Chain A
Amino acid sequence: MTTADLRSAKTGTARRTAGPRAAVPGAGRWKGAALTLTAWVAGLAFFLPVAWMVLTSLHSEPDAASNPPAFTAPLTLDNYRDFFGTSIWEGPWPPLINSATASLASTALVLLLALPAAYALTIRPVRGWRDVLFFFLSTKMLPVVAGLLPVYLFARNIGFLDHVWLLVLLYTSMNLPIAVWMLQSFLAEVPSSVIEAAQLDGARLPVVLGRVVAPIVLPGIAATALICFIFSWNELLFARVLTGIRAETAPVFLTSFITSQGLFIAQLSAASIAISLPVLAAGFAAQDKLVQGLSLGAVK
């Protein structure tokens, strides 16, 4: 989201009376306009902190730290330039690469494990598939802190601390229940008549899966992958405890970014936005399926 979007949001407010409700005459029209205005004000209020952070990230440090706020100070990209630095071997790059590795690898592993499981819960359901499904969900209700210490001790004893692959394993277990639930609900949406028809035509199962089922569920698989990616990228507690210098992830890097001396909020804003960008991109891409994933498939 940029300030340009915010600007277009404001012009949208001015044009609100031209909305579809405008056809309703008299009092209804004013009520509709008032509700539309309220919706816009509420949306802008929620967006304001983000917009302000974007603006701050484009200001110089002294302008960012002025009171009253300098809304019209000159814009600059220096903070982003300083943040990303010149070499990809230092600064935010190693943590960003670690985060990308942990998120992408765990997402791949999640799909690898969850797809066959979802298949065994829908297309060729095992007996008691409902119970199995709820077992998956119940593991998600177990707070991660509960297993933190044993994982730490085990990793330390086998020399696996500060390895990004340890995070890959943990993030996989964190996202696996969500993925199984989501994929199950997407696979169940494939009409059974489609599969039967293909099989009557003599197509064998792998062919049916590849040619018939896959095209239908592909958007669902993509949304699942995006949501798993977001959760892995955001994770802080495991990364904070189980990594050190080598496998540090971007959120951990962000917490250690602040120095107590001098002005830093413009830099901090730039860093926060830079690190949030992959999540924002993934989130907006998955927007339509976001609620299904977050509610573990219970709401569509």
Chain B
Amino acid sequence: MNTTTPRPPAPPAAPRAAAVPPKNPGRAKAWATRAPLLPALIFLVVVTQLPFAATLVISLWDWNALYPDDRAFTGFGNYEAVLRDADLRQAVLTTAVLTATVVLVSLVLGLGLALLLDRRFRGRGLVRTMTITPFLLVPVAAALLWKHVLFNPEYGLFNGLLARFGDLFGFTAPQPDWISDMPLVAVEMALIWQWTPFMMLIILAGLQSRSSELMEAARLDGAGNWQIFTHLTLPHLRRYLELGGLLGSIYIVQHFDAVYTITAGGLDTANLPYVVYQEFYQAQDYGVASAAGVLVVIGSLLIATFALRVVSSLFREEGSRS
């Protein structure tokens, strides 16, 4: 448990190119330097890039495993099918809403928690540990916990607490059927609960990398807490908020476990990864599944372009601080 004072930002991550100057960079020498890199690179290309290339190819074919003889080239027919089908269009929308809601709410909650935990107080380490525990549950276990132990309308904790509360104040508390009444919100709540700690950790790291001299100087110049927060802390945190938001988006866009567990994609909660799973695993429509998969990739790549830029700028900044 980390109850010690915040660590200063780690030293720059730039390799020491100058430490071992390449002497006479002959071809053999260059390959000797590259050799340790090759196994990892080749492995990664073979296991992650080749299958994706195959998905691209399959997405252009009309291919249903239940009718294996009717395989034919359709061009963008599957994409048309995905975008024309109301359910699949709904999945595109659901993915966007789910990702945006979970990421934004977790960011706000994570910022609040990080600010609270940035102060020193008794039991800070324990509070920090308690808040990150949700993130350390197996995602399936967390989803099952929300579905059966918290949301259950008859004996779930939420309705139990509501009933207790009603008894205390002498009224009959409502007993909603959480998952049927607000399916998407139910999935979002479970995900927000798991992802807030992630945002909190990143933002807390950002808070702890603020220059204390700058804060001190601002305070001496008579700046109030709120002024320091809006003029110093928030601008400094911007990058960290962006990074948390983008990494969170990349993970949530691909998220499968909670949708699969809590609603099994019913009640308009199916997101694109779930649709890919369903088309391929249940409907066995390989062409449509691949097209939906490619759409998930396009969505992620849009986010990823920004994410890479942010990571890259943080990376350079840490490197230039030396």
Contacts and interface: CB of A to CB of B under 8 A. Distances in A.
A295 B311 CA distance: 9
Contact of A189 (B11, B286, B300): B11
A294 B54 contact: no
A280 B139 CA distance: 12
A299 B243 contact: yes
A180 B36 contact: no
B37 interface: yes
B145 A53 contact: yes
A69 B37 contact: no
A119 to B, nearest CB: 5
A152 B280 contact: yes
B289 interface: yes
Nearest to B286: A149
B167 interface: yes
A134, A139, A147: most-surrounded residue (chain B CB, <10 A): A147
B183 interface: no
A288 B293 CA distance: 36
Contacts of B293: 143, 145-149
Given A53-B145, A294-B201, A237 B19 contact: no
A88 interface: no
Interface string A189-200: 100100110000
A240 B148 CA distance: 21
Contacts of B286: 149, 153
A203 interface: no
A126 B205 CA distance: 30
A75 interface: no
Interface string A265-292: 1001101110110011001100110110
A83 to B, nearest CB: 13
Given A117-B36, A119-B36, A188-B15, A9 B126 contact: yes
A152 B247 CA distance: 27
Interface in A81-114: 113-114
A287 to B, nearest CB: 6
Interface stretch (B70-78, B109-117, B227-235): B109-117
A173 B47 contact: yes
B79 interface: no
- Taking residues whose C-beta sits less than 8 angstroms from the other chain, chain B's interface range is 35 or more
Contacts of B164: 68-69
B3 to A, nearest CB: 11
Contacts of B157: 49, 52, 69
B320 interface: no
B294 interface: yes
Contacts of B122: 12, 15-16, 18-20, 36
A229 B295 CA distance: 30
A195 B16 CA distance: 11
Contacts of B260: 236, 240, 255
Most chain B CB atoms below 10 A, which of A12, A39, A276: A39
A39 B117 contact: yes
Given A20-B120, A145-B256, A149-B293, A280 B48 contact: no
A299 B314 contact: yes
Contacts of A151: 51
Contacts of A21: 119-121
16 contacts: A1-B130, A20-B120, A50-B145, A69-B155, A113-B40, A141-B300, A146-B51, A148-B276, A149-B290, A152-B280, A189-B10, A254-B140, A283-B136, A295-B205, A296-B311, A298-B315
10 closest Cβ pairs, A-B complex: A147-B51, A116-B36, A141-B304, A150-B54, A272-B141, A43-B127, A283-B136, A173-B47, A300-B10, A192-B16
Given A50-B133, A251-B138, A300-B209, 12 more contacts: A1-B130, A16-B122, A32-B121, A35-B121, A36-B121, A116-B37, A143-B296, A237-B277, A251-B257, A255-B144, A255-B261, A287-B129
